């Protein structure tokens, strides 16, 4: 099979790109144990420091607790309006609380808000027991989910983030979880931006200070223990770009907010998320041999986003790589090659190219005529 590479830079944004590429200064140095700044759409890491250092996640653990519960709702195993009976274990747990009582029947979504907004340990255990029967079994599910997401250096022992031996994660793994949480469960993501939640007459604020300071910030979760320090995973959207900042191990509530703001400000100032092609966008038509139609449109399987320095559009190059000649029948969505996007010679995206429509097989005489033409063209080529 012959693979052909067709440069498609001419299909990119060649017009109106006179803006010069920005110079990018060194990223800020933060007073934190580890940190990471990542583009939520592309997964491109913009800033990192000790991102693979294993650290106790404290209440950032509850991001996975909520994620697993969202997964269970998506599968239909539980429902948003299911009533969860509060056990004595959940009620007795110390630390931050939603203030549920033993024997209460609490809707799943109230408990989700108790986990996400109030950081309730009692709500976390109650949900864990409702999903898996016990918190210990639920922790096994959390670890299985972490493995599926590619969180290679994470191990959960409980659903709350309560200090425990072997309960560890990394800033990089938290970035993976944050991206999955936003992409896979948008139906519940709005909860992370809610500033208050009241239950049983007790109104508690979201501990994420940035929700009040920056209108672009809409999540995600804080955490704190003596060993972990003050931690924050924040997500913000500005000018079509969503960034996720993970800051672990600062020395105060104020510091975790201000250090996270530094990362977000740096990312939004010097980088942009650029949409190269949209899902289903036809790049060109390709000859189909033996088909009722002479050609088929070649499209990208999914949106292609890249993270680039501001003003760096001119440095993007795309190549459409077609895996040999196409023969009918061709199914809509059939993989026919790939689109490779490079920035300054480095591959930044690699997405399947697919047939944009179906092409049925032609009749006998049309196929014979195409075979003759193909032979003659091949002979001269």
Q: Identify the CATH number of the domain in which residue 321 sits.
A: 2.60.410.10
202 and 334 housed in the same domain: no
Q: Within a domain: residue 332? A: yes
147 and 290 housed in the same domain: no
42 and 12 housed in the same domain: no
Q: Within a domain: residue 244? A: yes
Report the C-alpha gap between 34 and 54 in whole angstroms: 9
Active site (annotated) includes residue 62: yes
Q: Within a domain: residue 261? A: no
Q: Within a domain: residue 243? A: yes
328 and 216 housed in the same domain: no
230 and 135 housed in the same domain: yes
Q: How far is CA 289 from CA 5, 146, 334, 370, in A?
A: 19, 46, 15, 6
Catalytic residue selected from 34, 62, 221, 255? 62
230 and 309 housed in the same domain: no
229 and 300 housed in the same domain: no
Report the predicted TM-score, pTM, of the whole model to 2 decimal places.
Answer: 0.89
307 and 245 housed in the same domain: no
Catalytic residue selected from 34, 87, 96, 119? 119
How far is it between the farthest Cα atoms of the chain?
84
Q: Is 341 exposed, middle or buried (0-12, 13-18, 19+ CB in 10 A)?
A: buried
DSSP string, 24-63: -PPPPPPSSSEEEEEETTT--EEEEESTT--B--GGGHHH
Q: Within a domain: residue 213? A: yes
Structural domain count, the chain: 2
pLDDT in tens, the chain (381 residues): 345 565 554 344 433 333 444 589 999 999 999 999 999 999 999 999 999 999 999 999 999 999 999 999 999 999 999 999 999 999 999 999 999 999 999 999 999 999 999 999 999 999 999 999 999 999 999 999 999 999 999 999 999 999 999 999 999 999 999 999 999 999 999 999 999 999 999 999 999 999 999 999 999 999 999 999 999 999 999 999 999 999 999 999 999 999 999 999 999 999 999 999 999 999 999 999 899 999 999 999 999 999 999 988 888 999 999 999 999 999 999 999 999 999 888 999 999 999 999 999 988 877 788 677 777 777 776
Question: Which residues neighbour 283 within 8 Å (Cβ) at sequence distance 6 or greater?
Answer: 8, 11, 277, 297, 298, 299, 300, 320, 339, 353
218 and 361 housed in the same domain: no
122 and 203 housed in the same domain: yes
> By residue range, what is the domain housing residue 193?
34-250
180 and 119 housed in the same domain: yes
Q: How far is CA 291 from CA 299, 361, 363, in A?
A: 18, 5, 8
Domain with 88 in it: what CATH number?
3.40.710.10
Active site (annotated) includes residue 77: no
Catalytic residue selected from 34, 59, 87, 96? 59
Active site (annotated) includes residue 119: yes
* Cα R_g (the chain), whole angstroms: 26
Q: Within a domain: residue 260? A: no
Question: Which residues neighbour 367 within 8 Å (Cβ) at sequence distance 6 or greater?
Answer: 290, 361
Q: Within a domain: residue 264? A: no
Which one of 250, 285, 308 terminates a domain?
250
13 and 93 housed in the same domain: no
Q: Within a domain: residue 266? A: no
């Amino acid at each position: 099979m012959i693979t052909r590479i067709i440069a498609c830079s001419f299909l990119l944004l060649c017009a109106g790109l006179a803006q010069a590429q920005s110079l990018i200064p060194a990223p800020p140095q933060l007073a934190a144990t580890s940190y990471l700044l990542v583009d939520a759409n592309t997964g491109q890491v913009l800033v990192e420091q000790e991102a693979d250092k294993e650290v106790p996640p404290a209440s950032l653990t509850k991001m996975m607790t909520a994620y697993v519960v969202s997964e269970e709702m998506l599968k239909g195993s539980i429902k948003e309006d299911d009533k969860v009976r509060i056990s004595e274990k959940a009620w007795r747990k110390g630390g931050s609380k939603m203030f549920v009582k033993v024997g209460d029947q609490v809707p799943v979504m109230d408990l989700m808000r108790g986990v996400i907004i109030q950081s309730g340990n009692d709500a976390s255990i109650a949900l864990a027991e409702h999903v898996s029967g016990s918190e210990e079994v639920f922790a096994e599910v959390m670890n299985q989910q972490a493995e599926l997401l590619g969180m290679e250096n994470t191990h959960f022992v409980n659903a709350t983030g309560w200090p425990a031996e072997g309960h560890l994660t990394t800033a990089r793994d938290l970035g993976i979880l944050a991206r999955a949480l936003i992409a896979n469960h948008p139906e519940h993501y709005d909860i992370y931006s809610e500033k208050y939640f009241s239950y049983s007459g007790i109104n508690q604020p979201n501990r994420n200070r940035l929700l009040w300071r920056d209108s672009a910030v809409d999540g995600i979760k804080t955490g704190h223990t003596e060993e972990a320090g003050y931690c924050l995973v924040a997500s913000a959207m500005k000018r079509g770009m969503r960034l996720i900042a993970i800051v672990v191990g600062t020395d105060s509530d104020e510091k975790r907010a201000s250090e996270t703001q530094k990362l977000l400000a740096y990312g939004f100032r010097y980088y942009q998320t650029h949409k190269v092609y949209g899902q289903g966008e036809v790049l060109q038509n390709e000859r189909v041999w033996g088909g009722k139609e002479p050609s088929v449109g070649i499209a990208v399987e999914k949106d292609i986003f890249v993270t680039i320095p501001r003003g760096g559009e001119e440095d993007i190059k795309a190549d459409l790589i077609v895996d040999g000649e196409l023969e009918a029948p061709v199914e809509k969505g059939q993989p026919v090659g790939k689109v490779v996007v490079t920035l300054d010679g480095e591959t930044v995206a690699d997405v399947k190219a697919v047939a944009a429509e179906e092409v049925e097989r032609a009749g006998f005489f049309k196929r014979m005529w195409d075979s003759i033409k193909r032979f003659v063209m091949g002979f001269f080529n």
